[in-house]
Chain A
Amino acid sequence: MKGLRLHGAAADLARLDALLAALPGLADAPWWALDDPASGSYLLVSEGFSSEAADAAGVGLEDVDPRALAPARRAAHLLEALRPVPAPHDEVPDDALFVVPAADPAATRTVERLLRLGRGDATLTQWTGPGGLTLGIRVAQPPLYLLLRARDGDEPVRAYARHRSTSLWVAWSFQHPLADAAAARLGEAGALVDAAGPWTLVPARGQERGLLALTDAALPAPIATLSASESEPVRFTVALRLELDRPRPASLWVLRPDELPALQPLLEATPLEGLGAVTLARLYGEAGVQYVVRLRSGAEDEGIADRLAGLLRSPGYVRVPGAERIFVPAGQRLMPPMRIEALRAVLQPPEGGLAVVQATGDGPSILRIGPAPEAPLRDLVDYIALDHRATLDALLEQAVFAIPAFHLDRTLTPTRAAKRPPPMPRQPRVKRPRPVAPVAPVAGEVATEAEQIRAWRLEAEPLQTRVAAGGLTDAAAWQRLGELLGHLGDADDAGLCLEAAAFHADDAASARAALEALITGRMAAQGVAAARLPEVMLAAATADRPGPDALALFGAAAARDAADGALMDGLGPLVVQAFAQRQGVASRRLAWLALRAFHGATGDLLGLTRAKEVLLGALNSDGLREAFDAPRFVRLGLALGGEEAVAGAGSDLQRAALTSAWARLEGDLDDLDLQATLYRAIFAVGFAQAGDMSRARGLAHDVEELRPLFDPPGRALLRLYLARLECLGVDDPGPIWERAVAEATQGLSSREQSAVDFARRRSLWLAEGATPPRRLDSGVEARLALLAADADDIPAALRAPGLGYDYLIADLVEGALALADATGREALMAESRDAALIALEQLDIPGHRATVIGATLRTAALLEDEAAVHGLIELFMRQIPEMESIAEILRAVEPAMAALRRIGLGSEAERFLLALRDVARRGHREAVKVAVFVADGFRLLGDVPAAERTLAEIEQAIYTPGLDPIARFEGASTLFGTLRAWSVSAREMAADKALESLDLFRDNFTTQRYFRLHRFLLVERVVDALSDTRAHGGGRLRLWLEAEEQAVRRRIVADWRSAR
């Protein structure tokens, strides 16, 4: 006989392919599989095999001696003959089936374990076959424990995982090598595939029943399986046990007569109203007279419960939640959780009476208490005060009070808060276009006004493109563009361009011309007549907080007047105040223009030096600012980028992208599923962020409707997402959010609460308030405040930080260097940098060393000290292998990278990125995170091909099956965090891929009994990236600002040098 040897490896499939290509009939022929335990491989044999056939296929067949091998297993076709291979990770499947013989005690045990783990949502099917009655217990996202137990344990329970949404179930932690094909072949039938290969065919759709509906409780009873018959479903009897629970205040005590006097102190010391809440009843039973002390429901929390527990020296009994008349010892609970009816059935509280489960030395016992007249303790007080124990006892013996049966405290159905449509987001203030300034037509050449405008536009466009490239220092170009924009009516942008023209001008005359045009334009735009200019300047100079327009005009006019030696008396100090002492709302270029002119005119070199430091310090701390330093056409143009600029409005594109993402997801959703509802809520927030309020409201409405259907943790999360929606348009969302959190988490059990917290800590939108923000140590904060007041002390403070912990020192260095940078004083910055290196010596912990090196690197970069930068990068790279967490590396690298770019040391930045890329390739769990950082770094450096290559590698890694689930989620989530700054089309493509692969995102957390955490968190991240309007194009704008900053910085330093 000839056989094909397979090893459960990828190469097998190639050989099978070749074989089937040569002998297509074989796929459907019967096969035999023979195990060769000695080698771990197995042999496949088919009647169609012959040496010639093998030769034809080019696949080596070998001679098989069936006697040397395990007995052959016959398979109906090739797919059935193949043996599953171990999966790379133990993943918790979406759907698992535990299969167990119904008559085996393991069946009941499995059911019991499921119930104890809170998984009453499991469903049951039963099959008959040669082995008798078999049960299939189906659990979505089953507890890992049960899977491990079925695989490794000694019970006849087998666990199967469903392949995708097919009816192929493969032994858990194995994969069928051709699962898709095998599933397709099954058609309507279902199959269970064992690890060793054999298939068991089962009907695809049996009758499934809920587990809880099939379970009865017994107490105390040995585990027993009730009789089963074909027609009657198997039922289980599960032994209830008392188990420790979190303490809740008790509301019932059972006392012997001799214990009764212990109540006396209570009677003596409690106000009458308090006693009204306590009742007493006297009962006869086998054990003689007993007293039952009860606390009116609702009174448990008033401290009386604790007091009673203390006095009676007994923790007492608590009501089983949901069951008014069943009590268990305080601090304990009945496990597994059962339906209340099942509990009632077994405990049988008498009509109008109670059942109390007591813990005794030999297990639980049940005390049934018939309806008994109860007396409020209050009624006894007068007598008690007179006499003592005997009296009390006697009184109680006699007392028979007619008291209505137990006071049932019906919980009111909570009135739903009137639904209120989420508030409209605040519309961004749209500036009405200013009327086009009237211009004198250029003689002859241009006939109509419209043609004139088109001509200006045509001329302006290439100039705008040059500006948008960043770092333009050509004063003439700026000047012309300013004039053109002025003609076109865009006074703000025209002003910024003319400021740049004056700033970069090479000679006094052209600077003068630029200023003149600037002032004229501003005056026209603000409607200021020439005669009123001095008055307007004075008003701006002395205003408490001059607005941007007023300040812009004041600065320009002051610059011109100072250069002319005609600055109004007394205005000089106000110029310094407006542009140096306060970092106001003027552009940095204008600030320098004004200060340079003023100090230059007075020949005040010291003042000029001070001005230079102030401006450089401001640049060091904040750089150029989007709102004041970038013309609007740059902001819009860069934000929209290529195709989006053509389409006209980025947010339309975003809405379209969101709509199509939602359409893709919605198709597969089950309406009443929590997961689907979470996606709805997330998209509602997304649409609102992108400005599509009507869609947002529609989805939010659905969510509100569905919310009551889910478990408390699901309800809480939905409530929180809806609250995010409410917060969107609000100035101070803090209180709304806090209230929502309090409401959403109210009444959750500790386990539910921890599930919700677990999710919130990992969520982007819900995390607020779940993780405390990182706060500086108060000691460090105090020192930094001192250093901010007197920056000269910074080097000394860094040389001897005198702090105990490494992290404190690192925080101090980081903060102090930022303060030094903000002074703009190069000598001080250099000295502080050197001092920081001394502080570095005191640190042992790599992560904190990285922080300090990163901060020092930033300062060195701002000083444009290439040698120092180079050295620090070397030092940092030497540190990398020791670092425990990549997050630490990234946190430290980020500021340094930004500084390198701003200062134009792109090649150093690139070297850095390459070193990091090596880290990413080390195959660390957080490797994907680093790779995302690297991709973004390349993009920021303008190396788009390298960025895209890295991105492709990342997606490849994220969507490869078999990746560790946490690494997959974290990688994807970092990816989308970064992508928010990329073009809409890049985001859309990535979103498509992610949503398509949503099934790949799994997790093994305990929270899976409530929700699939990684999936909805991924959807949240995708939606956030798609709908983000803040970072919209922000990355490209940041690059522009950085390039521009370099030009501004260089010019300021050059001006200052030449003044010396």
Chain B
Amino acid sequence: MAEDWTFEALDAEIDDIRHRVLQHGRFLASYFVGRDTEAELMLLAAATQEPLLFAGPPGTAKSDLVLKFVESLGLGGEDYFEYMLTKFTEPSEILGPIDIAQLKDGRFRRRTRGMLPEAKVVFLDEIFKSNSAILNTLLTIVNERKFYQDGAPEPVQLRLLFAATNDIPEQSELVALSDRFVLKVETRPVKERHFEALIDAGMRTEASRALSQRPWADGPASFIDFLKLKRYLDLHFAESGRLGDHARWFPPAIFAELRRIVRVLETEDQVYVSDRKAVKIYKLIRARAFLHHGGAVQAGDLRVLRYVGNRRAELPIVEEKVNSLLGLDG
């Protein structure tokens, strides 16, 4: 599938796509209890192809969210690669085994079929349990969408990367990887508040899986919709980029608000926002605005800022802080 649609071609159908995608979020969320935010962030991550990190204790539907999302897009089989990392995970386990036949000819290549390099959607569970060898490979894959075969870079198929973790470590080598996840969302247990609903939803899922039924497959939007959306956003950003994107799409008052909130997070709560991250945040806000209103950013779109915390303990604090700052304008 060549993802080289033209702006004109996409322009005609983009509104339909947007609506399907938004509907898709509601569709996905309906299979969970209290996971609307997560579902919305997944849409945003998928539309921008930015990685998304779920941080939360076991059993809070992190895996299930990703799996249902993938299945709801009609993906499966070799398009999707999921792996739980441990510190003993070998590169072969995710990149594919060494091709022995080729090794005899002195070529160091991996057989990547069904492995991460050929998957379009990847879910890495316990991502921070990975060791240095995996870490470096992952960084290259996330940053450059490449991996090395016999010393030469080759593109990977990766479009969407989701990851889950219970904890976000602060070891310096892991911070590099953690930084790539601009958005981090805390999945909190809902049992306390929605016990019955949770049980019902859980039972439905269990029963469906046992009977090999997947009512959530076949959601309103398809994977192609997301690819097109991404392509459209790229073209759209490229076009307005020349004029100074924010002058056109970001009303000055809201832009000032963005700047203020980032400043306050940095100074009052010591949330580190690198330059790279600032640009990514901007892009995500723009993308959310486009998805929801098809145009200029509105104050509500700044809600994306709730999820820009870095450290584990910071996530709820940033969420609450951004909420209260955003509430200041009513």
Mark A residues whose CB is within 8 Å of B: 90, 109, 112-113, 116-117, 143-145, 148-149, 152-154, 223, 239, 241, 243-244, 247, 249, 306-307, 309-311, 313, 315, 330-331, 335, 750-751, 754, 804-807, 844-845, 847-848, 884-885, 1004-1006, 1008
B264 interface contact, C-beta 8 A = yes
Given contacts A247-B192, A310-B196, 19 further A-B contacts (CB under 8 A): A90-B263, A117-B324, A144-B263, A145-B325, A145-B328, A148-B264, A241-B330, A310-B195, A313-B196, A335-B324, A335-B327, A804-B88, A804-B132, A805-B173, A806-B132, A806-B173, A884-B172, A1005-B267, A1008-B268
**Residue from A148, A335, A844, A1005 with most neighbouring chain B CB atoms (10 Å):** A148
Neighbour of B327 across the interface among A148, A243, A307, A1006, CB < 8 A = A243
Q: A117-B324, A751-B320, A804-B133 are in contact. Are A145 and B260 (CB under 8 A)?
A: yes
- Among residues of B, the one whose C-beta sits closest to the C-beta of A313 is B196
Q: Which 7 pairs show the lowest CB-CB distances between chains A and B?
A: A804-B131, A310-B195, A310-B196, A1004-B267, A1006-B268, A148-B260, A113-B328
Residue pairs across A and B with Cβ atoms less than 8 A apart, 23 shown, are A109-B329, A112-B328, A144-B268, A152-B259, A239-B330, A243-B327, A244-B323, A249-B192, A306-B192, A310-B199, A315-B193, A750-B316, A751-B320, A804-B88, A804-B131, A804-B132, A806-B173, A807-B173, A844-B136, A844-B173, A848-B172, A885-B172, A1005-B269
Residue ID in chain B nearest A113 by CB atoms: B328
CA distance in complex: A90, B267 (Å): 10
Interface string of B83-109 (1 = CB under 8 A from A): 000011000000000000000000000
Complex contact B195–A307 (CB within 8 A): yes
For residue B324, which residue of chain A has the nearest CB?
Answer: A116
A residues in contact with B194, CB < 8 Å: 309-310, 315
Contact of A847 with B327 in the complex, beta carbons under 8 Å: no
Check A153 against B256 for contact (C-beta < 8 Å).
Answer: yes
Nearest-Cβ distance from residue B26 to partner chain A, whole angstroms: 17
Distance between Cα atoms of A243 and B253 in the complex (Å): 23
Interface of chain B, helix or strand or loop or mixed?
A: helix
In the complex, which of the residues B196, B316, B320, B328 contacts A116, with contact meaning CB atoms closer than 8 Å?
B328
Q: Do B269 and A1006 touch across chains, with their CB atoms under 8 A apart?
A: yes
Which B251-275 residues have a C-beta within 8 angstroms of A? 253, 256, 259-261, 263-264, 267-270
A551 to B179: give the CA distance in the assembly, Å: 59
Interface residues in B185-216 (C-beta closer than 8 Å to A): 191-197, 199
Interface contact B173-A845, CB-CB below 8 Å: yes
B186 to chain A minimum Cβ distance, whole angstroms, is: 13
- A847→B173 CA distance, assembly (Å): 10
Nearest CB to that of B191 among chain A residues?
A: A306
Asked whether B143 is an interface residue with its Cβ less than 8 Å from the other chain, the reply is no
Complex interface: chain B residues within 8 A of A113 (CB): 328
Q: Indicate if B321 sits at the interface (CB-CB under 8 A).
A: yes
- The answer on a CB contact under 8 Å between A331 and B193 is yes
In the bound assembly, the distance between CA atoms of A1004 and B268 in angstroms comes to: 5
Q: Which residues of A contact B131 (CB under 8 A)?
A: 804-805
A754 to B87, CA, bound (A): 32
A844 touches B132 (CB 8 A): yes
Establish whether residues A311 and B196, one from each chain, have CB atoms under 8 Å apart when the complex forms.
yes
How far, in angstroms, from A1012 to B20 measured CA to CA in the complex?
Answer: 51
Q: How far is the CB of A675 from chain B (nearest CB, A)?
A: 19
Contact A1006:B321 (CB < 8 A) given known A116-B328, A805-B87: yes
Which residues on B sit within 8 Å (CB–CB) of A1006? 268-269, 321
In the complex formed, the residue of B with least CB distance to A757 is B313
Whether A247 lies near B256 (C-beta < 8 A) is no
Q: How far is the CA of A754 from the CA of B261 in the complex (A)?
A: 20
Smallest Cβ-Cβ distance to A91: which chain B residue: B267
Q: From A118, which residue of chain B is reached at the shortest CB distance?
A: B324
Instruction: Tell me the smallest distance from the CB of A277 to a CB of chain B, in Å.
Output: 18
CB neighbours (8 Å) of A807 from chain B are 171-173
> Which residues of chain B have C-beta atoms less than 8 A from A116's C-beta?
324, 327-328
Inter-chain CA distance A309–B193, complex, in Å, is: 7
By a CB distance below 8 angstroms, the chain B residues around A311 are: 196
- Chain B residue at smallest Cβ distance from A331: B193
Is the CB of B317 closer than 8 A to any CB of chain A?
A: yes
Residue among B87, B132, B269, B317 with most chain A CB within 10 A: B132
Which chain A residues border B87 with CB–CB below 8 Å? 804-805
- Complex contact A313–B197 (CB within 8 A): yes
In contact, B317 and A845 (Cβ under 8 angstroms): no
Residues B264 and A145 in contact, CB atoms below 8 Å apart: yes
Contacts of B191 in A (CB 8 A): 306
Q: Which residues of A have CB within 8 Å of B267?
A: 90, 144, 1004-1005
Chain A residues contacting B253 (CB-CB under 8 Å) are: 153-154
Cα–Cα, bound, A813→B172 (Å): 18
Residues of A within 8 A of B173 (CB): 805-807, 844-845
Which residues of the partner chain A approach B195 to less than 8 Å between Cβ atoms?
Answer: 306-307, 309-310
How far apart are the CA atoms of A862 and B199 in the complex, in Å? 65
Interface residues of B in 284-330 (CB under 8 A from A): 313, 316-317, 320-321, 323-325, 327-330
In the complex, chain A residues whose CB is within 8 Å of the CB of B269 = 1005-1006
Chain A residue nearest to B176 (CB atoms) is A845
Nearest A residue (CB) for B269: A1006
- Whether the pair A1005, B193 counts as a contact (CB closer than 8 A) is no
B271 → A minimal CB distance (Å): 11
**A1005-B172 contact given A144-B264, A806-B132, CB 8 Å threshold:** no
Q: Which residue of B lies closest to A144 (CB)?
A: B264
Nearest CB in chain A: distance from B181 CB, A = 19
Contact: A754 with B193, CB < 8 Å? no
Closest residue of B by beta carbon distance from A117: B324
- Chain A, residue nearest B171 (CB): A807
Bound-state Cα–Cα, A754 to B196, Å:
32
Report A521 CB to chain B, min CB distance, Å.
57
The CA of A844 and the CA of B324, in the complex, are separated in Å by: 42
- Bound Cα distance from A315 to B197, whole angstroms: 11
Contact A1005 B268 (CB under 8 A): yes
Q: Pick the most buried of B87, B193, B269, B321: most chain A CB atoms within 10 A of its CB.
A: B193
Q: Is the CB of A243 within 8 A of B323?
A: yes
Give the residues in chain A near B316, CB-CB below 8 Å.
750
A306: B residues at CB distance < 8 A = 191-192, 195
Does the CB pair B317–A754 fall under 8 Å? yes
Bound-complex Cα distance A750 to B325 (A)? 17
The 8 A CB mask of B108-127 against A (1 = contact, 0 = none) is 00000000000000000000
Q: How far is the CB of B261 from chain A (nearest CB, A)?
A: 8
Shortest C-beta distance, B191 to chain A (Å), equals 8
Among B132, B172, B197, contact of A847 (Cβ-Cβ < 8 Å)? B172
CA distance A22 to B299 in the complex (A): 58
A315 to B34, CA, bound (A): 12
Residues of chain B within 8 A (CB-CB) of A310 are: 194-197, 199
Cα A309 to Cα B268 in complex, Å, equals 37
Give the docked Cα–Cα distance between A884 and B272 (Å).
15
Name which residue of chain B comes closest to A779, CB basis: B87
CA–CA, A167 to B256, complex, Å?
A: 31
Chain B residues with CB below 8 A from A751, complex form:
320
**Which residues of the partner chain B approach A844 to less than 8 Å between Cβ atoms?**
132, 136, 173
How far is it, in angstroms, between the C-alpha of A143 and the C-alpha of B87 when the chains are bound?
A: 44
A247/B193 contact (C-beta < 8 A), A804-B131, A805-B87 known: yes
Q: Report whether B270 and A1005 are in contact in the complex, using a CB–CB cutoff of 8 Å.
A: yes
Residues of B within 8 A of A152 (CB): 256, 259-260
Q: Whose C-beta in chain B lies nearest to the C-beta of A149?
A: B260
Which residues on the A side are within 8 Å of B317 (C-beta)? 754
Residue-wise, chain B 21-63 has the 8 Å CB interface mask toward A (1 for contact) of: 0000000000000000000000000000000000000000000
Shortest CB distance A763–B (Å): 16
Q: How near does chain A come to B204, taking the closest CB pair, in angstroms?
A: 16
Closest chain B residue, CB of each to CB of A884: B172
Nearest residue (CB) in A for B270 is A1005
> CA separation between A854 and B11, bound complex, in Å?
61
Which residue on chain A has the smallest CB distance to residue B87? A804
Q: Which residues of the partner chain A approach B320 to less than 8 Å between Cβ atoms?
A: 751
Central interface residue in A90, A239, A845, by most chain B CB within 10 Å: A845
- Check if B263 sits within 8 Å of A148, measured CB to CB: yes
Is B193 touching A805 in the complex (CB atoms < 8 A)? no
